[in-house]
Amino acid sequence: MRTTLVPTTLIQVPYDLGRDGGMGAGVPVLAETLADLADDTVVVAPADASLNETAACLEIVRGVREQVRDVGAADRFPLVLAGNCHSSLGTVAGLGIPVGVVWLDAHADFNTPETTSSGFLDGMALALLTGSGWAALRATIAGHVPVPVRHVVLAGARDLDSAEEQRLTSAPVLRAQAADLNEALDTLRERVSDVYLHVDLDVLDPSVGRANRFACDGGFTLEELELAVDAVQARFTVCAAAVTAYDPDEDPDGAIPPAARAIVLRLLAARALA
Ligand SMILES: [Mn+2]
């Protein structure tokens, strides 16, 4: 089985808003669960402790970008395991080519510094990736080019605040749930052929497992998520992927790691067959 998988490097980003703990603590747990599926693993360095939260997050993003670039140069598949979804900024920048984005998440992560009422940086991840907010800070990420919003499929999002809904209404992001994902992917395929696949584990319904404190009802079953990975593979070249936002404290029964493994196995095996 092992030999049929695509050569892969796990890129661990074990931080939550620039610091240890929280959803960062899920990264080594996932890495252990996935270790036998990958050829090697690297860990992105922590941020300088003197930095404020936002600056620390961006320093880590720049670290992700360097690792993804190096893994790509070594002809390995970069699989990012991250506490936070804004790791995506570094991943896409590190690829060095324009890609579309398939973003599976209970949330839209589409607030900007102007619309957020919580100030939660990770609620801005997809907005930042598509070029809204923190422009000067984003410019410190070598190779960062905003992804056009029309090159994004957002699937499984079901817990949005009104500002995000408003922004999404005015932005041509392709939105889907499990039932209509294939149509959204077909539309995206008319626009791009290479994608970054982003899996925030809270896209899963809590009946599968509770990925983090933001998990909410109405999510994908494990089978639906596996089929989603297949559907992406069938249409696109997946240039990099991420599995994010696992907080083991929210999952005392340990239901999420085996689910993550099932998804990654599907991703890496399908790539090898392609
Ligand atoms: Mn997210």
pLDDT reading at 2 higher than 50: no
Measured in Å, residue 18 CA sits from the centre of ligand 1 at 15
Task: Give distance in angstroms: CA of 133 to centre of ligand 1.
Answer: 17
Cα-to-centroid distance, 122 and ligand 1 (Å): 7
Strand ranges for the chain from DSSP E: 8-13, 40-43, 77-82, 100-104, 152-155, 174-176, 194-200, 237-244
Rounded distance from Cα 3 to ligand 1 centre (Å): 32
**Whole-number pLDDT of residue 4:** 72
pLDDT(3) > 60: no
Q: What is the DSSP string of 13-54?
A: E--BTTBSSGGGGHHHHHHHHHGGGSSEEEEPPPPPTTS-HH
- Strands of the sheet with 237-244, listed across from one edge: 40-43, 8-13, 77-82, 237-244, 194-200, 100-104, 152-155, 174-176
Candidates 97, 58, 139; CA nearest to 240 is 97
Q: State in Å: Cα 4 to ligand 1 middle.
A: 30
How many angstroms separate the alpha carbon of residue 203 from the centre of ligand 1? 8
Distance 210 CA to ligand 1 centre (A): 14
Give the pLDDT band of residue 274 (cuts 50, 70, 90). low
Q: Which residue has the higher pLDDT, 127 or 269?
A: 127
Per-residue pLDDT, 206: 98
Q: What is the pLDDT of residue 5?
A: 84
Mean pLDDT of 1-19: 87
- CA–centroid distance, 60 to ligand 1, in Å, is 17
More confident residue, 269 or 105: 105
Q: Which residues span the domain enclosing 10?
A: 2-273
- Calculate helix-pair angle for 181-189, 222-235, nearest 10 degrees: 20
What percent of the chain is predicted at pLDDT more than 90? 96
What is the tens place of the pLDDT at every residue in 161-208?
999 999 999 999 999 999 999 999 999 999 999 999 999 999 999 999
Average pLDDT, the chain: 96
Supply the angle between the helices 53-73 and 87-95 in degrees, to the nearest 10.
Answer: 30
For the domain that residue 203 is a member of, what is the CATH number? 3.40.800.10
The mean pLDDT value for 11-20 works out to 97
pTM over 0.95: yes
The Å distance, Cα 57 to ligand 1 centre, comes to 15
Q: Domain count of the chain?
A: 1
